[in-house]
């Protein structure tokens, strides 16, 4: 997940920083805030702390638990340092190498892209000193989203008003190279294992960790999609901004998916669903040596095939993606599954011997009617974007104007 450090300075436009924080969060970006002392005269740090659920940095010598050199850690943590709103005072200090508070020392220390959204009175904005500060910073590679013209808080009319928060968010996302190609799309993902009880203490399951499904959920949310994950039992933190529907059994997962399938544009089935479940579930623990041999013979019944059922009912404007974990002949088995399940493509991967299940990296092959594409070895988060890139290609092939 990308991290944006927002620098907030003492300016009437500071209230718009709250909208910028929320806009970035909706795009799946982690946001942290550093404030100048003057900024706290307008808004207390508690507001940004509530919005970001992160500590808010203010004083250069404030205690930061476990972090004796706070401006260095903040500088290293940021993928983008965005100062919005930025006053003429702070801009001048950065341009001239003055580092006398936490915000300016962090700006001096960061190697991340530094971006500035100025906001001030028109005469201050147009002053020779401020224009020189902007020129110097631009020459050093600082990126600017310029102030707008209009009615200013002081009553004057002219250039100096902070750019629209939506434009600042879009500007930041572009600098972060965060795609928004799934904006407006609704994505349904299954993840993790299913658990089929035998008795109150035993069950049939598999070692799926849910990492692949959760990585795709995080990536899709960052790319603008509205994401729902139907997950079996996993030990993972919920991706920010993603709806999680928790289930245990294959039948519960089937019902949750069937209820939502018609309302989504994209369905990605990564879950390792148990193929069978016990016909009868004992109400008490089965004992070894039972006369009826209850533990030596367990009658099974086949679970509903979620991918095949949804694939058979998919609309022409939906994209359905299946996963195939195989111990051998990955491409051949994935291609059989592609046809049998009526999917748009299958993501095949080699499982067993410590591969695929529970790992942070994987190697996959994307199989569709046109051929095969190998991806990896790579982190599962990177593979998630490769899968979503393939999804956007399917949409584009159907209707080139559907996705930009």
Which amino acids are annotated catalytic? 154
Which of 90, 139, 153 has its CA nearest to residue 116?
90
């Amino acid at each position: 997940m990308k991290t944006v450090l927002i620098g907030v300075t003492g300016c009437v436009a500071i209230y718009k920083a709250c909208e910028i924080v929320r806009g970035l969060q909706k795009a799946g970006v982690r946001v942290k805030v550093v404030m100048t002392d003057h900024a706290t005269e307008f808004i207390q740090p508690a507001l940004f702390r509530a919005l970001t659920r992160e500590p808010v940095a203010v004083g250069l010598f404030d205690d930061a638990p476990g972090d004796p050199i706070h401006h260095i850690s903040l500088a290293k943590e940021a993928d983008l340092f965005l100062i919005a709103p930025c006053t003429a005072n702070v801009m001048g200090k950065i341009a001239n190498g003055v580092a006398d508070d936490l915000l300016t020392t962090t700006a001096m220390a960061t190697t991340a892209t530094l971006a500035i959204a100025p906001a001030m009175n028109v005469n201050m904005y147009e002053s020779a000193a401020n224009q020189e500060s902007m020129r110097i910073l631009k020459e050093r590679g600082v990126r600017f989203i310029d102030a707008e013209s209009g009615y200013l808080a002081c009553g004057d009319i002219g250039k100096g008003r902070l750019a629209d928060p939506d434009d600042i968010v879009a500007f930041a996302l572009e600098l972060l190279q965060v795609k928004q190609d799934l904006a407006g799309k609704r994505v349904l993902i299954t993840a993790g294992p299913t658990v089929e009880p035998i008795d109150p203490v035993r069950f049939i399951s598999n070692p799926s960790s849910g990492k692949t499904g959760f990585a795709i959920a995080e990536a899709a949310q960052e790319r603008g999609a509205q994401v729902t994950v139907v997950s079996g039992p996993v030990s993972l933190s919920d991706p920010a901004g993603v709806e999680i529907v928790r289930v245990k059994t294959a039948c519960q997962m089937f019902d949750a998916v069937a209820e939502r399938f018609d309302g989504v544009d994209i369905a990605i089935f990564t879950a390792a669903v148990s193929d069978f479940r016990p016909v009868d579930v004992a109400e008490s623990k089965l004992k070894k040596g039972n006369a009826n041999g209850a533990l030596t013979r367990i009658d099974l019944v086949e679970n509903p095939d979620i991918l095949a059922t949804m694939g058979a009912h998919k609309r022409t404007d939906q994209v359905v993606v299946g996963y195939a974990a195989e111990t051998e002949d990955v491409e051949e088995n994935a291609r059989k599954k592609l046809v049998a399940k009526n999917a748009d493509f299958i993501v095949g991967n080699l499982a067993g011997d410590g591969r695929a299940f529970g790992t942070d990296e994987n190697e996959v092959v994307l199989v569709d009617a046109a051929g095969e594409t190998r991806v990896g070895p790579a982190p599962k988060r990177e593979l998630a974007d490769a899968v979503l890139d393939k999804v956007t290609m399917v949409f584009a092939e159907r209707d080139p104007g559907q996705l930009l």
